[in-house]
């Protein structure tokens, strides 16, 4: 009897849960998008460094609480020396592209907010309840749909599921 195997669809992402604990993550940018990226990295127990001339209120709070290291200046190439992962969240697309090219030359995974062709990976829409984490991806094609699906899944989970 011959076995049958399903054919891959292709075009998807390799979905993994990245172990970022104690890993140096560099975030370039100090606005609301950067704050979201920082929060995600802190949730994963990463060691976060932010490079930005100014910080939004949330990132200022995180710097004051010593949750992040902040360098109050523009990005410098040497900032990559200790980074294992880089997240750019700046409005200058040309600089994001330059940073992504530097990262690729050093084999450092990079995500450039809102510039899909520069990203080695995308952020998913997530729900967390202690140890349980649910993530929905549309490969950055339909973030609103991913958020809607995530909300439906989260609403179906009993509160405290992650404590079981």
> Quick one: what percent of the chain has pLDDT higher than 90?
77
DSSP-assigned beta bridge partners for residue 129: 132
Quote the mean pLDDT of the chain: 94
In sequence order, which residues have a C-beta less than 8 Å from that of residue 46 and are 6 or more positions away?
20, 21, 22, 23, 24, 25, 85
Active site residue 77: no
**Strand order of the sheet with strand 24-28?**
69-71, 47-51, 24-28, 85-88, 110-112
State residue 150's pLDDT score: 94
Q: How far is CA 137 from the centre of its chain?
A: 13
| The residue to which tokens 């939004």 are assigned | 56
Q: Do residues 59 and 30 lie in contact, with contact meaning Cβ atoms separated by under 8 Å?
A: yes
State residue 23's pLDDT score: 98
Mean pLDDT, rounded, for 44-68 = 98
State residue 14's pLDDT score: 86
Mean pLDDT, rounded, for 94-113 = 97
Mean pLDDT, rounded, for 83-91 = 98
Which residue in 79, 81, 92, 114 is the catalytic one? 114
State residue 12's pLDDT score: 85
pTM, whole model, 2 decimals?
0.89
Higher pLDDT, 75 or 9: 75
Residue 53, pLDDT above cutoff 80: yes
> Contacts for 146-149 with beta carbons within 8 Å, 24 or more apart?
149/125
């Amino acid at each position: 009897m011959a076995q049958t195997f399903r054919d891959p669809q292709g075009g998807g992402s390799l979905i993994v849960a990245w172990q970022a604990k104690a890993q140096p993550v560099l975030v370039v940018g100090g606005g609301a998008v950067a704050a979201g990226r920082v929060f995600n990295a802190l949730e994963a127990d990463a060691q976060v460094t932010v490079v930005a001339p100014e910080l939004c209120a949330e990132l200022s709070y995180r710097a004051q609480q010593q949750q992040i290291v902040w360098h109050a200046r523009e990005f410098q190439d040497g900032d990559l020396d200790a980074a294992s992962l880089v997240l750019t969240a700046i409005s200058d697309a040309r600089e994001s592209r330059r940073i992504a090219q530097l990262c690729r030359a050093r084999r450092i995974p990079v995500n450039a907010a809102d510039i899909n062709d520069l990203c080695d990976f995308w952020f998913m829409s997530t729900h967390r309840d202690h140890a349980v984490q649910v993530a929905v991806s549309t490969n950055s094609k339909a973030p609103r749909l991913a958020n809607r699906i995530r909300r439906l899944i989260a609403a179906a989970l009993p509160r405290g599921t992650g404590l079981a």
